Amino acid sequence: ETGVTQSPTHLIKTRGQQVTLRCSSQSGHNTVSWYQQALGQGPQFIFQYYREEENGRGNFPPRFSGLQFPNYSSELNVNALELDDSALYLCASSLGGGDTEAFFGQGTRLTVV
């Protein structure tokens, strides 16, 4: 089991609402990345935070936003939820860079109804 924890584990929201997902990174890791995994698909990169700054973003609209705190934990916020936002949201922490292992949390299953 990795040291990355996500909360909540499951969540049901109504279309149009806003949601905040949380992630505690592994000790010593300064980089957190968020991924969206639709049912039956591979994870897709949403964005990455490095030392409290956004450090890269995938092809997701601005209603997906995030924060990283001084202790390197992170939040993913999604506004104006749509049905297609229903997915597993994964957080991964690492030391950054393309050669380091990413440690994943167990994910938050978001259902939008």
65, 49 Cβ separation under 8 angstroms: no
| 66 binds other proteins, rule: CB under 8 A | no
- The DSSP element (H or E) to which 5 belongs, if any, is strand 5-7
54, 48 Cβ separation under 8 angstroms: yes
| 65 binds other proteins, rule: CB under 8 A | no
Bridge partners, residue 66, by sequence: 76
| 30 binds other proteins, rule: CB under 8 A | no
Per CB under 8 A, the segment of 13-21, 47-55, 66-74, 77-85 that binds other proteins is 47-55
- Identify the burial level of 71 via C-beta atoms within 10 angstroms of its C-beta, where 0-12 means exposed, 13-18 middle and 19 or more buried: exposed
| 50 binds other proteins, rule: CB under 8 A | yes
Instruction: Closer to other proteins by CB, 82 or 101: give it.
Output: 101
Q: Which residues bind other proteins (CB under 8 A)?
A: 1-2, 31, 33, 35, 40-45, 48, 50, 55-56, 58, 88, 90, 92, 94, 96-102, 104-107, 109
